[in-house]
Amino acid sequence: MLEKEIKIYSSGNYENKPIIFIHGFPFDHHMWDKQVNELAKLYYCVTYDIRGLGISPSGDGQFTLEAFVDDLEFIIDNLKLSKPVLCGLSMGGYISLRCVERMEYKLGGLILCDTKSEADTNEGKLKRAEGIKIINQVGVQKFITDFIPNCFAKDFINRNVNEYNEILIKTLNSDPIGLKGCLLAMQGRTDVTPYLSKIQLPSLVVCGEEDKFTFPMAMKKMAEIIANSKFVTVPGAGHMSPVENSVFFNITILDFLKVNFS
Ligand code: MLT
């Protein structure tokens, strides 16, 4: 079964509170390196490559968001994680939110980064279709070079050229089947908005102040609906807030974890 081939990584003491970090599209588990390096001193940090991305296999590429949640459940059950905190960015946030809707009783807390609860609009669905067409007809390179610059604040790219290029080169090597599978899964995901007001977990909602995909005002509104939640904007960051301003991001999530889980 494909979920058994998902590449899973862990750092820190298993006895500590588990946190599962779920990366965004089209990145891999390395996007959380700056968090794991810091947080593994106090928490049991689990990361993984979502199927089709990083070095997790693509299989036939027929992905659904439900299958992504099945993979996450497999990780929780297989590692016997007790009430883990989910920390998901963008597509990782879609997976986290749907996981909460399906099995909140298995979870301890929620950190939503640069994400949203709504399903794709018609315009969004057409953009996914256009992305698949570009990958098929022009290639991965064109899709990635159009997509990735928008994920980062301009200033971050200018000040961190080497780090940015490293990320870009890695994503340029993405498997087209995996990319298209993720686009189809995101295109077909359900709207989790009706469940937001039912969430009981302690929750933190974080957004880069220059995020062009998920706007801070929209995330603030989402946080207002989740009962036990706090909203924070990350200065100088775009869509990839944990990468772009890791110092501020780490302090923010460490505060949240300390208040709720120590
Ligand atoms: C992501 O960062 O995971 C993507 O931007 C999500 C999306 O395309 O909806």
Q: What is the mean pLDDT of residues 151-159?
A: 97
Provide the residue range defining the domain that includes 175: 2-261
Closest CA to 84 of 34, 127, 46, 29: 46
Our answer on whether the CB atom of 24 is closer than 6 Å to any ligand 1 atom is yes
Q: With a 6 A CB cut-off, is 185 part of the ligand 1 pocket?
A: no
Closest ligand 1 atom to 24 CA: 3
pLDDT at residue number 262: 80
**pLDDT higher than threshold 90 for residue 150:** yes
The residue among 200, 170, 224, 14 whose CA lies nearest residue 108 is 200
pLDDT 10s digits, 186-200: 999 999 999 999 999
How does DSSP classify residue 190?
Answer: P
Q: What is the pLDDT of residue 35?
A: 98
> Where are the alpha helices (H) located in 3-121, listed in sequence order?
33-39, 65-78, 91-103
Separation between Cα atoms, residue 177 and residue 36, nearest integer Å: 29
Residue of 87, 186, 244 to mutate, ligand 1, most atoms within 8 A of C-beta: 186
Mean pLDDT of 223-239: 98
* pLDDT reported for residue 38: 97
How many domains does the structure of the chain reveal?
1
Say how far apart CA 55 and CA 78 lie, in whole Å: 19
CA count, 13 A, side-chain hemisphere, 34:
15
Residue 147 in contact with ligand 1 by CB distance below 6 A = no
- DSSP annotation of 252 reads H
- The atom of ligand 1 lying closest to the CA of 23 is 3
Over the stretch 13-40, which tens digit does the pLDDT of each residue have? 999 999 999 999 999 999 999 999 999 9
Ligand 1 close to Cβ of residue 90 (< 6 A): yes
How many angstroms separate the alpha carbon of residue 124 from the centre of ligand 1?
Answer: 11
Number of helices (H) and strands (E) in the chain: give both, helices first: 12, 7
Please indicate whether residue 213, judged by its CB atom, sits closer than 6 Å to ligand 1.
Answer: yes
Whole-angstrom distance, CA of residue 113 vs CA of residue 87: 7
Task: Answer yes or no: is the C-beta of 214 below 6 A from any ligand 1 atom.
Answer: no
Residue 43: count of CB within 10 angstroms of its CB: 23
* Mean pLDDT, range 40-68, rounded to an integer: 97
Residue nearest ligand 1's atom 9 by CA? 91
Confidence of residue 1 (pLDDT cuts 50, 70, 90): low
**Identity of the amino acid at 138:** V
- Please give the distance, rounded to the nearest whole angstrom, from the Cα atom of residue 21 to the centre of ligand 1: 15
SS3 229: strand
- Find the mean pLDDT for residues 103-118: 98
Q: Which atom of ligand 1 is nearest to the CA of 183?
A: 8
State the residue for tokens 């189809």: 184
Percent of the chain with pLDDT over 70: 98
Q: Is the CB of 31 under 6 A from ligand 1?
A: no
Cα-only R_g, the chain: 17
Angle between helices 140-147 and 122-137 (to 10 degrees): 140
Average pLDDT of the segment spanning 106-110: 98
pLDDT at 3: 64
CATH number of the domain residue 92 falls in: 3.40.50.1820
**Residue whose C-alpha is closest to residue 138's, from 179, 107, 166, 108:** 179
Q: Where are the alpha helices (DSSP H) in 104-225?
A: 122-137, 140-147, 154-159, 161-172, 176-187, 193-196, 216-225
* Per-residue pLDDT at 2: 62
